[in-house]
Structure 1
Amino acid sequence: MNTLVIYIHPNHQSLNYAFLQEVLRGSRENAKVAEIQVLDLYDEGFDPVLVFNEHKRRRDMHTDPALAKYREQLMWADKIVLVYPIWWGRPPAMLMGYIDQMFASGFAYRDKGGLLPEGLLKGKSVVCISTMQGPTHYPLLMLHNAHKVLMRKALFNFVGIRKVKFFEFGSMESKRGKHARKLERIYQYFKTAS
């Protein structure tokens, strides 16, 4: 199994970075993982801004040479792991900009003229690891699970990815946030994940 870990946080001293390290530690100890690649969108200097004009058309985004490396990573990966904070009830703009550009028509899905397109990323799985300042159940109780609906239904199911797992960790800025236990949970999951 090839694993692509996408890290979306500007600070390497953050708790999100600690979660990234546990993903890598567990994956390296997992005999089912053949290779691991890490894409740090901030370190990479990924530009999340969409630009369309007379020279750059949306319908050609799936062949944009500037995005070729990222398309190759997504095709190579059997498992895609996203590590990011929840800000204002949703993933960071950097991640949304990556999604806007990478999950393009002609690459991630194909329009068939019907109600739903053909997902072209079938067979892959995704794990979303997110942290937030508020309580763990805040997105469910106050936002009607908007984050999970966005990621699972509006994105991953749309492109053919059916196996999506979420780890949403709340109260992460609290001294009583049980950080060590949550980090251990991520390590144990990736140590045995298939």
Structure 2
Amino acid sequence: MNTLVIYTHPNHKSLSYAFLQEVIRGSKENGKIKEIKVLDLYEEGFDPVLVFNEHKRRRDMHSDPALAKYREQLIWADQIVLVYPIWWGRPPAMLMGYIDQMFASGFAYKDKGGLLPEGLLKGKSVVCVSSMKGPAHYPLLWLNNSHKALMRKALFNYVGIRKVKFFEFGSMESPRGKHAKKLQQVYRYFKTVSA
């Protein structure tokens, strides 16, 4: 199994970075994970801004040469892992900009003229590891589970990815946030995950 980890946080001293290290550590100890690649969007200098004009058209985004290496990474990956904080009830703008550009028509899905498209990324799995300041049940009780609905239904199911797992950790700025326990939980998962 090839694992692509997409890390989205500007600070390498953050809790998100600590979660990234546990994803990597667990994956390296998992005999079923053949290779792991990490894409740090901030360190990469990924440009999340969409530009459409007479030279760049939205319908051509699936073949934009500037995005070729990122498309190759997604094709290569059997498992896609997203590590990010939840800000304002959703992933950071940097990650959303990546999603806007990478999960384009003609690459991630194909319109068939009906209600739903054909997902072109079938057979892959996704794990979202996210943390937030608010309590763990905040997205469910106050936001109607919008974060998970956005990621699972509006994005991954749409492009054919059915296996989506969430680690959505709340109260992470509290000294009672049980950081060590949650970091260990992520490590154990990636040490044993098989697909």
- Is the TM value for this pair above 0.5? yes
Which blocks of at least 5 consecutive residues in structure 2 are unaligned? none
Q: Which residue of the partner structure matches residue 50 of structure 2?
A: 50
How far apart are 1:174 and its partner, in Å?
0.5
Q: Which residue of the partner structure matches residue 70 of structure 1?
A: 70
Aligned-residue sequence identity (percent) comes to 85
Q: Which residue of the partner structure matches residue 32 of structure 2?
A: 32
2:187 matched to 1:191? no
Q: Which residue of the partner structure matches residue 158 of structure 2?
A: 158
Alpha-carbon distance between aligned partners in 2 of 1:33 and 1:21, rounded to the nearest angstrom: 16
How far apart are 1:29 and its partner, in Å?
0.2
What TM-score, normalized to structure 1? 1.00
2:83 matched to 1:83? yes
Q: Which residue of the partner structure matches residue 130 of structure 2?
A: 130
Task: Give the letter for the 1:99 counterpart.
Answer: I
Q: Which residue of the partner structure matches residue 148 of structure 1?
A: 148
How far apart are 1:188 and its partner, in Å?
0.3
What TM-score, normalized to structure 2? 0.99
Alpha-carbon distance between aligned partners in 1 of 2:97 and 2:119, rounded to the nearest angstrom: 20
2:126 matched to 1:117? no
Which blocks of at least 5 consecutive residues in structure 1 are unaligned? none
Pairs aligned (count): 194
How far apart are 1:172 and its partner, in Å?
0.4
Compute the RMSD of aligned alpha carbons: 0.3
Alpha-carbon distance between aligned partners in 1 of 2:136 and 2:160, rounded to the nearest angstrom: 28
How far apart are 1:124 and its partner, in Å?
0.1
Alpha-carbon distance between aligned partners in 2 of 1:176 and 1:151, rounded to the nearest angstrom: 28
How far apart are 1:58 and its partner, in Å?
0.3
SS at match of 2:97: helix
Alpha-carbon distance between aligned partners in 1 of 2:51 and 2:4, rounded to the nearest angstrom: 26
Alpha-carbon distance between aligned partners in 1 of 2:114 and 2:16, rounded to the nearest angstrom: 40
SS at match of 2:114: coil
How far apart are 1:102 and its partner, in Å?
0.1
1:74-124 superposed Cα distances (whole Å, 9 cap, x missing partner): 000000000000000010000000000000000000000111000000000
Task: Give the letter for the 2:149 counterpart.
Answer: V
1:127-182 superposed Cα distances (whole Å, 9 cap, x missing partner): 00000000000000000000000000000000000000000000000001000000
SS at match of 2:5: strand
Task: Give the letter for the 1:14 counterpart.
Answer: S
How far apart are 1:7 and its partner, in Å?
0.2
Alpha-carbon distance between aligned partners in 1 of 2:176 and 2:115, rounded to the nearest angstrom: 47
- Kindly report structure 1 stretches of 4+ aligned residues shifted beyond 4 Å: none
